[in-house]
Amino acid sequence: MNLRNLTIDAARSAVAEGKISATALAESYFAKIESDDPKIGAYLMLSKERALTKAAEVDAQVKKGEKLAPLAGVPVGIKDVLVTKGVRTTAGSKILANYIPPYDCTAVARLESAGAVVLGKLNCDEFAMGSSNENSAYKPVHNPRDLSRVPGGSSGGSAAAVAADMAVTTLGSDTGGSIRQPASFCGVIGLKPTYGRVSRYGLIAFASSLDNIGPFAKTAKDAAIMLRTIAGRDPMDSTSAEVPVPDYVVEIEKPVKGMKIGVAKEYFGEGLEPETRAAIEAAIQKLAKLGCEIVDVSLPHTKYAIPAYYLVATAEASSNLARFDGVRYGHRANSVRSLSDMYRRSRDEGFGPEVKRRIMLGTYALSAGYYDAYYLKAQRVRTLLTNDFIEAFKKVDAIVGPTCPTPAFKLGEKVDDPLAMYLADIYTVTANLAGIPGISIPVGNSKENLPIGMQIFGKHFDEATILRLAHAYEQAA
Ligand code: GLN
């Protein structure tokens, strides 16, 4: 059988019907990773023992004729900011170079309980800070569609692994676009759920009021299966919401005819590359052909999203990253003079330049005398942005626009210009500030054959609608 480009259902049925064992399937993915990943760089660590143990468990179930779980035998990859018991977890940082977690992240544990086989840990920007994966302390990731380009970030490894077929599906995290932007750059689907939809127990925190865990997948149905598996209240995370989880796999089959789709002019302004604009406009036309009604909406505070995001995110990062002090685990500086010297030098040696920049910006924004002018003001702007969406969603069921202003840029193109890198997050940070769900789906290619992604925003806790639209678009395209 052809083992390439498998969806979740195809992989699971192949195992269930005995066409291939879960063990052989995992081994075929490891072989693919060993042959292709040296030029892509998606994986930081393989978890072969853990994968083969799980695969053997699934194979034993098949032999006994037991009913298989929805992800039985399905090979998955995990972004390295999600902790995995006994499997090194670095968050892409040198400061956690030797960290072997004593517990599992809830999302990973739920995937494994549903039968998934965890192949390994995926490369990312250090502590998920970045938009190109070039801030990984270990190695860059190359975009499988064009190796001279970035895969996006910070979940670059998670997007590249799905695009290069080195996992059926993967998990990433999205604080300000880190699932949707790399999905768009690599030509796959990436879903950021509503804030609170998925437990963050075991996610190494970057900015706690913005962080989310979500899936990368080849199809909307796969994204639906993944979300159904990881979503829902978890007593280990008090910010996980007590909101019922619908069966997204059933929801996506419902018709989209008559749905009202908002288009905001603020997402089609200066900086949007003409080719990307044309691809998004064509995709909107396709939704109209499917019977959706296209409605103009306004999100007037969008222009303040980047400054608000980079204040809130850095402020929260500066407090979250205070715990990395070289005492319990991670990098510790040698031959130090005192305890405070040990902290200072361990942090100086262990953190990369972008992480240090953010800790400094965030500490500044929170310091006495500046708090009101920066952090508090950013929080107020955040409320205005959220209200923009709430108002717009009184008129429409979903809002569509570009995921990014341009397709994937070249490796090295923006590394020396952090501001240019930040500005490219313009269309993605808004969903995190407002807490709403967003999905990026591939809708076309540029002249240079680079993927272009369309983003669909939904109401709080209404992932079902955006998955449904994604599915309908995919079926029609
Ligand atoms: N690019 C954004 C940043 O650098 C988003 C990061 C993320 O979502 N983790 O902060």
Q: Is the CB of 313 under 6 A from ligand 1?
A: yes
Determine which one of 79, 121, 192, 218 is catalytic. Answer: 79
367 is catalytic: no
Q: Which of 154, 179, 181, 356 gets mutated to test ligand 1 (max ligand atoms within 8 A of its CB)?
A: 154
Ligand 1 close to Cβ of residue 154 (< 6 A): yes
Query: Which residue, by CA, sits nearest to atom 5 of ligand 1?
Result: 176
CA of 154 to the centre of ligand 1 (A): 6
Rounded to the nearest angstrom, the distance between the alpha carbon of 279 and the centre of ligand 1 is 25
Q: Is the CB of 178 under 6 A from ligand 1?
A: yes
> Residue ranges per domain, the chain?
8-251
For a mutational test of ligand 1's pocket, the pick from 93, 125, 455, i.e. the residue with the most ligand atoms closer than 8 A to its C-beta, is: 125
Report the nearest-CA residue for atom 4 of ligand 1. Answer: 130
SS3 sequence of the chain: CCCCCCCHHHHHHHHHCCCCCHHHHHHHHHHHHHHHHHHHCCEEEECHHHHHHHHHHHHHHHHHCCCCCCCCCCEEEEECCECECCECCCCCCHHHCCCCCCCCCHHHHHHHHCCCEEEEEECCCHHHCCCCCCCCCCCCCCECCECCECCCCCCHHHHHHHHCCCCCEEEEECCCCCCHHHHHHHCCEEEECCCCCECCCCECCCCCCCCCEEEEECCHHHHHHHHHHHECCECCECCCCCCCCCCHHHHCCCCCCCCEEEEEHHHCCCCCCHHHHHHHHHHHHHHHHCCCEEEEECCHHHHHHHHHHHHHHHHHHHHHHHHCCCCCCCCCCCCCCCHHHHHHHHHHHHCCHHHHHHHHHHHHHHCCCCCHHHHHHHHHHHHHHHHHHHHHCCCCCEEEEECCCCCCCECCCCCCCHHHHHHCCCCCHHHHHHCCCEEEEEEEECCCCCEEEEEEEECCCCHHHHHHHHHHHHHHC
Which CATH number does the domain 8-251 belong to among 2.60.450.10, 3.40.800.10, 3.40.250.10, 3.90.1300.10?
A: 3.90.1300.10
* Catalytic position from the list 47, 132, 154, 184: 154
Q: Please work out whether the CB of residue 432 comes within 6 Å of at least one atom of ligand 1.
A: no
Instruction: Output the tens digit of pLDDT for each of the chain's 477 residues.
Output: 778 899 999 999 999 999 999 999 999 999 999 999 999 999 999 999 999 999 999 999 999 999 999 999 999 999 999 999 999 999 999 999 989 999 999 999 999 999 999 999 999 999 999 999 999 999 999 999 999 999 999 999 999 999 999 999 999 999 999 999 999 999 999 999 999 999 999 999 999 999 999 999 999 999 999 999 999 999 999 999 999 999 999 999 999 999 999 999 999 998 999 999 999 999 999 999 999 999 999 999 999 999 999 999 999 999 999 999 999 888 999 989 999 999 999 999 999 999 999 999 999 999 989 999 999 999 999 999 999 999 999 999 999 999 999 999 999 999 999 998 998 899 999 999 999 999 999 999 999 999 999 999 999 999 999 999 999 999 998
| Closest ligand 1 atom, residue 179 Cα | 8
Question: Does the reported pTM lie above 0.85?
Answer: yes
User: Ligand 1 pocket, 129 CB below 6 A?
Assistant: yes
238 annotated active-site: no
79 is catalytic: yes
Q: Whose CA is nearest to atom 10 of ligand 1?
A: 129
Taking the centre of ligand 1 as the mean of its atom positions, its distance from the CA of residue 361, in whole angstroms, is 15
354 lines ligand 1 (CB under 6 A): no
Question: What atom of ligand 1 comes closest to residue 309's alpha carbon?
Answer: 10
